Amino acid sequence: MNRAEFDLWAQRETDAVESALQAWVPAAAPAGLGVAMRYGVLDGGKRVRPLLVLAAAQAVDGLREAALRAACAVELIHAYSLIHDDMPCMDNDVLRRGKPTVHVQFGEAQAMLAGDAMQALAFEVLTPQQDADVPAALQARLCSLLARSAGHAGMAGGQAIDLASIGKPLDEHALRDMHHRKTGALLQASVLMGAACGEVSAAQWAALTEYGDAIGLAFQVVDDILDVTQASETLGKTAGKDIDNNKPTYVTVLGLDAARRHAQALRVTAQAALVRSGLPHAGWLSLLADKVVDRDS
């Protein structure tokens, strides 16, 4: 598999996720709520998390319908977290995915409700009624993986640590713990939800868990690097925001060069875990690891 083949696969799968989200995020939700929800999740973003779900599912020959639903559910959770994270009570940002943030466009109350509704919709998408293509046991497992990655032990807990750490020094261990929760947990869950759609051994599950952990942390390290090396126009969000807000990042804790070396080391760890998994169809996961580390936005 080469980059050209990967780009074709990624575009095809991104289109599939976009079409499914178009169908499942209701435009007709009351009082303009659906419009705000769709604004917050459609037509934007890198879709790295859905691609990880679908790549992992293909690596284990998983159920396609379940994997597509899992991919959309992960993106709904991610998008809701961005809506809330951008609000004045948290990061107070005005730009996301190259356009005004949801609270700027629709007001704070509607943005809060849009995020709430998208969080609930994620689990609705994972639990289709009377759908033999997604067995009940698999629905429950996918819900469990997603809930645990998004809640107090994962993303929400990491966001709480992030807000509590403004202006405070953090060592690398504490920074890693924060970002493993805030960013890494949902990326790791994306891999494991895809893997749950097929059959894997305990050793393969452990290897994919390590791959997801390395990719999740690498994504945040690269985010911190891009925040100080790229312009807002390239990122689609406000550059330099973390430093302006006096938040600890991998760049402030390690330095720029060391942060870049750390990202490369995490790529090596992720690729080694894939090799150890022995999965014969893990090529897309391997190329996604490269994409996460080599991206410029």
Mean pLDDT (the chain, rounded): 94
| pLDDT at residue 43 is higher than 90 | no
Q: What is the mean pLDDT of residues 62-90?
A: 97
Question: Hunting for tokens 């990491």 — which residue is that?
Answer: 158
Q: Distance between the two ends of the chain, CA-based, in angstroms?
A: 24
Query: What is the per-residue pLDDT for 21?
Result: 98
Is the model more confident about 37 or about 239?
37
Query: What is the per-residue pLDDT for 105?
Result: 96
The pTM of the full predicted model, rounded to 2 decimals, is 0.95
Query: What is the per-residue pLDDT for 210?
Result: 98
Gap between the Cα atoms of 28 and 273, Å rounded: 44
Q: Is 132 exposed, middle or buried (0-12, 13-18, 19+ CB in 10 A)?
A: exposed
| pLDDT at residue 88 is higher than 80 | yes
In the beta sheet, which residues pair with residue 253?
A: none
| pLDDT at residue 1 is higher than 90 | no
| pLDDT at residue 44 is higher than 90 | no
| pLDDT at residue 296 is higher than 90 | no
Tens digit of each residue's pLDDT (9 = 90 or more) over 228-275: 898 877 777 777 777 777 888 999 999 999 999 999 999 999 999 999
64-85 and 136-150 helices cross at what angle (nearest 10)? Answer: 20
Query: What is the per-residue pLDDT for 131?
Result: 66
With contact defined as beta carbons under 8 Å apart, do 214 and 52 qualify?
Answer: no
Instruction: Measure the CA angle with vertex 162, ends 159 and 164; round to 5°.
Output: 110
Q: Are strands 95-96 and 99-100 parallel, antiparallel or unpaired?
A: antiparallel
Instruction: Give the C-alpha distances (Å, rounded to integers) separating 84 from 40, 52, 89, 94.
Output: 11, 23, 9, 12
pLDDT band at 32 (very low <50, low <70, confident <90, very high): very high
CATH class for domain 3-294?
mainly alpha
Look at phi and psi of residue 247 and say left if phi exceeds 0, alpha if psi is from -120 to 50, else beta. beta
In the beta sheet, which residues pair with residue 99?
A: 96
Tens digit of each residue's pLDDT (9 = 90 or more) over 118-177: 999 999 999 998 767 899 999 999 999 999 999 999 999 999 999 999 888 889 999 999
Per-residue exposure over 213-249, b if at least 16 CB sit within 10 Å of its own CB, e if not: bbbbbbbbbbbbbbbeeeeeeebbbbbebbeeeebbb
Gap between the Cα atoms of 207 and 272, Å rounded: 9
Three-class secondary structure of residue 289 per DSSP: helix
Question: Hunting for tokens 């005005």 — which residue is that?
Answer: 94
With contact defined as beta carbons under 8 Å apart, do 214 and 283 qualify?
Answer: no
Q: Which of 98, 71, 77, 58 is nearest to 198 (CA)?
A: 58
Gap between the Cα atoms of 39 and 19, Å rounded: 15
